[in-house]
């Protein structure tokens, strides 16, 4: 990886053999964007990639002597408000006279090895030999404010990250009204925009539409990245598929309000943005103060969507997820929530964990209802003290009992929330978000604690630390079940800072707990998948993908999630039937076959299983233990999309192509199906023979990738003695190993 700098032409070229990112200083001192895409050989001059001398009717022009130079028509690196470009800006500040037009121009640059940490924010990391960082400094002539643009390019990965820091170096305050973490001007609009959208229980469904003139955006103004729109936006060429063609990805290492958008102008140029949602953000900087934006991640692939996903998965494993969890086996857990809800006691939990241990489960998680007087969802959030009615011997005694059975022990928390019926709200009503004396909306019968107030964070740190030590916890499920309404902090003077300061408080608590207790495995959750983002992943290496545990629904949820996130981050469990979210009944085999492709665990009462089901669960657990290293470390391929056909298929292959596990699923039976059905695989060695469990003959890699893996005879009404499968909810798992 190299950052080439042409001092004479003031040209910057970041490249690593995978991608090139090129920009330069234009004649007005601002930055012009020249190229982003597949790697180019460095050359002296790339300025011909952009035309500056092109007369265009009815445009603005910066210089009286040069009517052809117009910011309205050129591709820019960091577009500003009020200087003749009527597209949306990356930065909008206001000075003491309420002047918002700014004029930042190039002042200098620095290059350093590695990747600096962003203070107070989750961000990527890298050793000195794994990345290089370019910092470009711009200064505003009117206010004296400085902005630093940070670019980090990583070794051997088509990944570049960006963020910005604004500093007020003068005496008068300035107000940041808009600051995007990332801006990219592309020369054309021949793309399809893809994103992951949904709602509670149907998160991260794949949506696709053609770019058109105007603005297309996804956003959240809920105080969290949200169930509705994931902070991940993709552009792909219309002809691009999962396996070939160009694609660009844009992710955000942030868990609060965000905006990601594509704006196509009247010259068919496309401007991409990602940053904090500007409609609920305003930040005042006094003299000497700075503001750091969250980090955005830019990815490129000319090997289709799978190529982009695989690069992102590898990058997240290497440069974002806590290093101590990268290759560590995640325990197979069982959670009591769907088995007992709030109705449990020591005796019931003792029987529950005894049965779980016999099945080979490795971790027991006690979910909601163990604290305060929490018999339903109307009380006790905030009262993080053990309910002695249910657990008369305390949490430490329960933990010891569980561990004596060979299981690890975990607890559910919802630290950001408070119940209107709680002791904490009586003691600290000022800790609740919302203007006092005005109506406050409820969500799940609860309110939200003001994490912008350091006293709140300190209190929760003390309570959670005490419980981690008392219970000798191995795992924490950190939930967040409602979004923020009536955003107001009694602690803040500037309410425009509230949402960002809130999420900084969440990060502060995560940082302190994960640093103090590095061996505790955190799993993030937000009513399921309402905060499934890279900001959370920096602290918690796995996330509960959705409260919807129905295996048929999970095919779409997990498929969509995999576009941007590795399998080992996806919390996926086998639940009881009828399913508690859909009332659907699916075979235990189908449920297990879907859940394998994630963290794997159970959400059911093991005492309610038949002996036959217990035997099957034991086999599932034994099988997952065989493949879990592959799930964590392997390369994932999406083979068939549940959004585009009747079947779903995916596979994980070892990096050297010597072994693989494949999942194939068919939710609904179609009468009189085709015969000789096969599934084309990826990632194998063409000339190597493979042994597949359940088959007597060997298959060569090129056969499996070009002819396909035989799926066996499907029932068609006339072949009952030959049929190997049939009906609804079919699933098959294939395990391949080089022979």
Please list the active-site residues. 479, 547
Is beta strand 290-292 parallel, antiparallel or unpaired with respect to 570-571? unpaired
* Residues in Cβ contact with 519 at an 8 Å cutoff, skipping those fewer than 6 apart: 324, 474
Which stretch of DSSP H or E encloses residue 663?
Answer: strand 659-666
CB burial of 72-81 (b: ≥16 within 10 Å; e: otherwise) equals bbbbbbbbbb
CB 202 within 8 A of CB 553: yes
Which stretch of DSSP H or E encloses residue 534?
Answer: helix 534-537
Backbone angles phi, psi at 357, to 5 degrees: -60, -40
Sign of the dihedral through C-alpha 664, 669, 670, 672: positive
Place of tokens 């795992």: 475
Task: Give the torsion through C-alpha atoms of 33, 37, 42, 47, to 10 deg.
Answer: -30
CA nearest neighbour of 93 among 170, 184, 161, 150: 170
The CA distance from 618 to 646, in Å, is 30
CA nearest neighbour of 30 among 135, 123, 103, 96: 103
The CA distance from 523 to 48, in Å, is 49
The CA distance from 188 to 204, in Å, is 27
Helices (H) and strands (E) in the chain, counts: 12, 39
The CA distance from 713 to 725, in Å, is 7
* Residues in Cβ contact with 710 at an 8 Å cutoff, skipping those fewer than 6 apart: 676, 677, 678
CB 316 within 8 A of CB 532: no
DSSP character for 330?
P
SS (H, E, C) 505-527: HHHHHHHHHHHHCCCCEEEECEC
Place of tokens 């299981």: 407
Crossing angle for the helix pair 454-471 and 394-404, nearest 10 degrees? 50
CB 152 within 8 A of CB 124: yes
| CB neighbours of residue 685 within 10 Å | 16
Counting every residue written for the chain, the total comes to 739
The CA distance from 374 to 434, in Å, is 24
* Residues in Cβ contact with 398 at an 8 Å cutoff, skipping those fewer than 6 apart: 346, 349, 366, 391, 409, 471
Backbone angles phi, psi at 401, to 5 degrees: -60, -45
Place of tokens 């600290």: 428
The two structure tokens encoding residue 231:
């902070």
CB 304 within 8 A of CB 158: no
The two structure tokens encoding residue 68:
């052809």
CB 146 within 8 A of CB 138: yes
In angstroms, the first-to-last Cα distance of the chain is 37
CA 490-383-400 angle, to 5 degrees, is 145
CA nearest neighbour of 564 among 248, 294, 183: 248
């Amino acid at each position: 990886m190299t950052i080439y700098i042409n001092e004479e032409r003031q040209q910057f070229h970041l490249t690593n053999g995978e991608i090139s990112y090129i920009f330069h200083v234009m004649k007005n001192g601002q930055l012009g964007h020249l190229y982003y895409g597949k790697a180019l050989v460095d050359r002296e001059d790339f300025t011909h990639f952009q035309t500056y001398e092109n007369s265009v009717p009815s445009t603005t022009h910066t210089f009286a002597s040069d009517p052809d130079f117009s910011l309205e028509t050129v591709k820019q690196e960091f577009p500003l408000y009020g200087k003749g470009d009527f597209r949306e800006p990356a930065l909008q500040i206001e000075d003491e006279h309420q002047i918002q037009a700014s004029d930042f121009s190039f002042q200098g640059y620095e290059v350093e090895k590695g990747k600096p940490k962003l203070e107070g924010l989750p961000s990527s990391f890298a050793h000195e030999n794994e990345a290089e960082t370019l910092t470009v400094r711009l200064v505003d002539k009117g206010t004296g404010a400085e902005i630093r643009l940070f670019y980090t390019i990583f070794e051997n990965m088509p990944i570049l990250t960006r963020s910005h820091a604004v500093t007020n170096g003068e005496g008068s305050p300035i107000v940041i009204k808009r600051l995007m973490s990332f801006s990219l001007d592309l020369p054309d609009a021949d793309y399809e925009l893809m994103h992951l959208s949904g709602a509670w229980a149907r998160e991260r469904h794949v949506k696709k539409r053609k770019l058109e003139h105007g603005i297309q955006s996804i956003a959240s103004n809920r105080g969290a990245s949200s169930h509705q729109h994931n902070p991940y936006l993709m552009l792909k060429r219309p002809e691009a598929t999962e396996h070939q063609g160009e694609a660009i990805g844009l992710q955000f290492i942030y868990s609060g309000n965000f905006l990601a958008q594509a704006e196509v102008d009247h010259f068919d140029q496309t401007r991409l943005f990602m940053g904090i949602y500007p409609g609920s953000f305003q930040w005042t900087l006094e003299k000497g103060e700075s503001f750091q934006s969250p980090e955005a991640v830019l990815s490129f692939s000319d090997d289709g969507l799978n190529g982009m996903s695989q690069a992102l998965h590898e990058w997240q494993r290497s440069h974002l997820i806590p290093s101590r969890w990268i290759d560590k086996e995640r325990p197979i857990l069982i959670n009591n929530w769907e088995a007992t809800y709030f109705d449990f006691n020591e005796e019931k939990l003792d029987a529950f964990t005894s049965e779980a241990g016999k099945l080979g489960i490795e971790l027991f998680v006690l979910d909601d209802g163990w604290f305060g007087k929490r018999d339903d969802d109307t009380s006790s959030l905030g009262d993080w003290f053990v309910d002695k009615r249910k657990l008369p011997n305390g949490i430490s005694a329960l933990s010891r009992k569980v561990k004596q059975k060979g299981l690890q022990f975990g607890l559910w928390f919802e630290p950001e929330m408070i119940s209107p019926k709680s002791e904490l709200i009586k003691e600290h009503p000022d800790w609740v978000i919302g203007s006092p004396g005005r109506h406050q909306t409820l969500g799940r019968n609860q309110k939200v604690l003001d994490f912008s107030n350091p006293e709140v964070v300190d209190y929760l740190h003390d309570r959670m630390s005490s419980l981690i030590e008392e219970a000798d916890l191995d795992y924490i499920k950190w939930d967040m079940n409602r979004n923020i309404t009536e955003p107001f902090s009694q602690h803040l003077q500037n309410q425009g800072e509230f949402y960002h300061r809130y999420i900084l408080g969440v990060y502060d608590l995560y940082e302190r707990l994960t640093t103090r207790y590095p061996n505790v495995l955190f799993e993030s959750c937000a009513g399921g998948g309402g905060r499934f983002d890279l900001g959370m992943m920096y602290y918690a290496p796995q996330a509960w993908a959705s409260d919807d545990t129905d295996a048929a629904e999970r095919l779409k949820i997990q498929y969509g999630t995999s576009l941007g996130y590795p399998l080992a981050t996806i919390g996926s469990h086998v639940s009881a039937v009828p399913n508690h979210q859909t009332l659907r009944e699916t075979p235990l085999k189908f449920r297990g076959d879907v859940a394998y492709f994630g963290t794997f665990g159970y959400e059911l009462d093991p005492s309610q299983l038949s002996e036959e089901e217990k035997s099957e669960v034991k086999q599932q657990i034994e099988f997952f233990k065989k493949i879990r290293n592959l799930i964590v470390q392997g390369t994932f391929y999406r083979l068939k999309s549940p959004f585009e056909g009747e079947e779903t298929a995916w596979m994980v292959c070892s990096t050297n192509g010597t072994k693989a596990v494949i999942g194939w699923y068919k939710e609904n039976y179609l009468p009189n199906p085709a015969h000789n059905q096969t599934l084309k695989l990826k990632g194998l060695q063409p000339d190597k023979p493979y042994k597949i469990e359940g088959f007597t003959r060997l298959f060569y890699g090129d056969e499996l990738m070009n002819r396909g893996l035989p799926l066996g005879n499907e029932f068609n009404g006339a072949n009952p003695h030959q049929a190997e499968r049939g009906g609804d909810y079919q699933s098959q798992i294939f395990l391949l190993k080089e022979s």
